[in-house]
Structure 1
Amino acid sequence: MKNNHPITKMEIKLNPDDWHGLVRETLFVTELGSNRYRLENTPFLAKGVSNGDEVAAVHSKRGLVFSKVLKHSGHSTFRILVEESVTPTEFQQQWLKLERLGCTCEDVEGDIPLFSVDVPPSVMLEKVLSILDEGHERGIWTYEEGHIGHPQSAAK
């Protein structure tokens, strides 16, 4: 069945006092009707939302602006910042462990080695956290939680 819902962009306001210093992030959303939208990519910086979440928005001069989560999708989001001294091969070896579990990632275009990691509901969160911790302990990356959408009993 073909999806006839249009994909557009939505802004999510960020705290400029956070480490990134940015005031907004733009995500792709699918319009579901009745002021409902589904996030179609994994946030890099926004907290409290994940890929697939249904959200509401308000219209502004700049376009759609996120207002609240209507329904979480069960996905969890992490972001990893690769350490400068790490080679692409070292990163890839550690990343493949997450990919084999079913995680996907998006990277920031440019010079910042920042990745947003999507953890689908079918992936065991404990295993993801273990691999993220291992990568941190090995000096490959630092990471932070963007949103835990898995049931809290699945968390460490």
Structure 2
Amino acid sequence: MGAVEETVEKVKVWFRFVPREGWFPQDVEGLWATRLGADTAVIENVPFLQDGVAEGDVVQFRTDADGLHWAVGRVSSAGNCTVRVVPIPTGPLGRSPQAVHQRLAVFHLGGEVMSPEFPMVAVNVPAGADFAGIKAILNQGEDEGWWHYEIGCGTEEWWNA
């Protein structure tokens, strides 16, 4: 009996949204995903701009004539949350995304940095994490001038923590 080979297909799923006033001018964001079926995939990275979706969520997409996969909706939530943290350049952390990661290290959170020019850290907060503790450090950092933050995707558990 031979081993069955599984192929994992990575695709980029594109999201379209209305740009926010005073924010980035982009109206699309592409997120890497693992294809599950003909029109579904699991999001594999943290969104910098798209709200309402988090790493691990399953999304449905439509493929256009150019072969681009456009998200049409979230099928299911993994229970993860997306938090975006921007260090305040004149604050005690300066423009350091590493300092942001260090402040959150106790929670073992993964994240990505947008760019050296704009050191926003997009953080994946897994289901079951210490939501109350994370919210406390986020609020402390905002109160003490370390950073600004926003919740790009929160679950009921997050909002109730």
Fold in common (TM above 0.5):
yes
> Gaps (5+ residues) in structure 2?
none
Name the SS of the counterpart of 2:133 in structure 1. Answer: helix
TM-score, with length taken from structure 1: 0.87
Provide the residue aligned with 2:55 in structure 1: 51
CA contact (8 A) 2:97 2:120 kept: no
Deviations 1:87-113 (A, max 9, x none): 469764553242221211100124001
1:68 maps to amino acid: G
Provide the residue aligned with 1:69 in structure 2: 74
Are 1:106 and 2:112 an aligned pair?
yes
Structure 1's 42 and 129: CA in aligned 2 closer, same or farther, altered over 3 A?
Answer: same
**Offset of residue 35 of structure 1:** 1.3
- The correspondence of residues 32-43 of structure 1 with structure 2, limited to 5 A, is 32-43=36-47
1:20 maps to amino acid: F
Q: Give the Cα–Cα distance (whole angstroms) in 2 for the partners of residues 150 and 106 of structure 1.
A: 24
CA contact (8 A) 2:88 2:95 kept: no
Please state which structure has a larger fraction of its residues in strand: 1
2:84 to 54, 60, 79: 79
Q: Which has the larger radius of gyration?
A: 2
Name the SS of the counterpart of 2:32 in structure 1. Answer: strand
Number of aligned residue pairs: 155
Q: Give the Cα–Cα distance (whole angstroms) in 1 for the partners of residues 81 and 6 of structure 2.
A: 24
Deviations 1:49-81 (A, max 9, x none): 000000000112360111100000000001011
Structure 1's 38 and 3: CA in aligned 2 closer, same or farther, altered over 3 A?
Answer: farther
Structure 1's 95 and 17: CA in aligned 2 closer, same or farther, altered over 3 A?
Answer: closer
| Sequence identity (%) | 23
Name the SS of the counterpart of 1:33 in structure 2. Answer: coil
